[in-house]
Structure 1
Amino acid sequence: MIMTVKQAARKTGRPAKVPGDKSTKEKIFDAAIELFAERGYDGVSVRDIARAVGLTEGAVYKHFASKDEILDSIFAYVEGRIYPQAREDVPSGTLEGGLDAMVEALSLEEILASVPKFMLADQNLARITRIMLIELYHNEKIGDYFRRELMERPIDETEVLFTKLLERGKIRPCDPRAVATMFISYMVSWYFQTFILNYGRQDFDRIERETVAQIRLFAEMFKPDGERSS
């Protein structure tokens, strides 16, 4: 099934894209992310966001009922980017049948490599991570979301992926939970190094080379015995 632009926007939390210039709602969304990343969520008002976009507060409220609703849309956007089955920008046909279709269509290396690939293509994720870190211990809602959706859920979702790969004989016998924890631990370290510690001075060519090598090594470790390189 092909989603409409409107449906995709609801799915990811990001305002619908239009040909050419960004929509007003998308400009508000992007401006809020930039301001929250600079000053923290509590340090930014709806008036500040409106000024950044050249609007009145009333115009902002036509698109978002409150600043909290903007935050909810940011949460939904992150979810849509991190969890592949919720994304609208995957190649046609790849995920139309959900996780089962992805497991059937792609190799372990292709599945794992898709995660850092789309993260590198989305600089908003770095800004949003900064927001989360600034507000982690100041804003209970953001703190709960960070722990639940960015630390606990990735392991749960990846465990399901490895369980399906194991059932189809596409990886060697293993504990899916342990393997999921190992992979997500690597991704958390990779993400922190790439988007937080080295923010603004990333060497993306080097990052890509090193990431490909790490993913390839991880995939090789868990290939079925008959498929592993000698």
Structure 2
Amino acid sequence: MDKIKNEGVQKRKKGLETTRQILDAAADLFARNGYDGVSVREIAEKAGIKESSLYNHFKSKSEILETLFNEFIRFVPETRPSDEELDTMLMIMEPEEVFKSILFHVGKSVCGTLSNTAMIIQYEKFRNPRAAEMYYKYVVNEPANYYERLINKMIERKMVKPVDARTIAEQYNYISIVLTKEYIMAQYGLADIHSVVGYMIKTLKFFCGLMKNDIGEHHEKKEEI
């Protein structure tokens, strides 16, 4: 009985590993060649399996893409500190330090299949309604909502002056979208990563400067605490 149980566990583990290989292979190919430019046979070859075996895991190429999109929805929020973590950071960090921490947190998280899926969304949004929906909902609006919450937290704590948090968040995020694409290009060896990161830091400094309190105001608040 134990032998049969162990065999079942190993079979499920192997199945999950193969599913992961298929998704990783497809994401890489879709990001480099476009969804329409990739065949199921090519995905299977890159994953190291037979084409017929791939269909034991996914019914179609479109199901693979949808699975990648669902993973993106689930994992992208985890690339940034949670709201609870932000509350802790705001107790000990200046605004610029908080934005830098978020930047480096995202940088460590955006790699591999997740970054490939981001590029797929960017490319496919012009011809795939699902990709267009993903782009506006999870690349444009969801991060802007995150930064709006952060800026409002800073305003409430008098860490920055009262500003239009929504507008600042949207503008910062739009520039971040462009720079994130360049960061992913750098991972492919198509851009200089140091230049991209340098410009990201220059951008966050600029936006923090727009929100900066009058000199000494925030430091006086900290001393009172």
Which position in structure 2 is the counterpart of 1:169? Answer: 158
Q: 2:27 corresponds to which letter in structure 1?
A: I
C-alpha spacing 1:195/1:40, structure 2 compared with 1 (3 Å): same
- Per the alignment, in what secondary structure is the counterpart of residue 113 of structure 1? helix
Which position in structure 2 is the counterpart of 1:49? Answer: 43
Q: 1:102 corresponds to which letter in structure 2?
A: L
In the TM superposition, residue 129 of structure 1 has moved relative to its aligned partner by: 3.8
Which position in structure 2 is the counterpart of 1:105? Answer: 89
Which position in structure 1 is the counterpart of 2:66? Answer: 72
Which position in structure 1 is the counterpart of 2:10? Answer: none
Which position in structure 2 is the counterpart of 1:28? Answer: 22
Residue identity (%): 27
Contact 1:100 1:164 in 2 (8 A): no
- Per the alignment, in what secondary structure is the counterpart of residue 174 of structure 1? coil
Which position in structure 1 is the counterpart of 2:124? Answer: 135
Q: Which has the higher helix share?
A: 2
Contact 2:154 2:160 in 1 (8 A): yes
C-alpha spacing 1:114/1:33, structure 2 compared with 1 (3 Å): farther
Contact 2:161 2:212 in 1 (8 A): yes
C-alpha spacing 1:76/1:204, structure 2 compared with 1 (3 Å): same
Q: 1:227 corresponds to which letter in structure 2?
A: H
**What is the aligned-residue RMSD (CA, Å)?**
3.3
In the TM superposition, residue 148 of structure 1 has moved relative to its aligned partner by: 2.4
1:37 paired residue among 19, 24, 31 = 31
- Per the alignment, in what secondary structure is the counterpart of residue 201 of structure 1? coil
C-alpha spacing 1:109/1:72, structure 2 compared with 1 (3 Å): farther
2:218 paired residue among 205, 208, 227 = 227
CA distance in 1, matches of 2:59, 2:159: 47
Whether 2:54 is the aligned partner of 1:60: answer yes
Contact 1:82 1:115 in 2 (8 A): no
C-alpha spacing 1:123/1:131, structure 2 compared with 1 (3 Å): same
Unaligned runs of 5+ in 2: 1-15, 220-225
Which position in structure 1 is the counterpart of 2:11? Answer: none
In the TM superposition, residue 159 of structure 1 has moved relative to its aligned partner by: 1.6
CA distance in 2, matches of 1:218, 1:33: 33
C-alpha spacing 1:189/1:216, structure 2 compared with 1 (3 Å): same
How many residue pairs end up in the alignment?
199
- Per the alignment, in what secondary structure is the counterpart of residue 35 of structure 2? coil
- Per the alignment, in what secondary structure is the counterpart of residue 36 of structure 2? coil
Contact 2:144 2:169 in 1 (8 A): yes
Which position in structure 2 is the counterpart of 1:5? Answer: none
Q: 1:40 corresponds to which letter in structure 2?
A: G
In the TM superposition, residue 32 of structure 1 has moved relative to its aligned partner by: 0.3
Contact 2:179 2:196 in 1 (8 A): no
Which position in structure 1 is the counterpart of 2:202? Answer: 213
Q: 1:105 corresponds to which letter in structure 2?
A: M
- Per the alignment, in what secondary structure is the counterpart of residue 23 of structure 1? helix
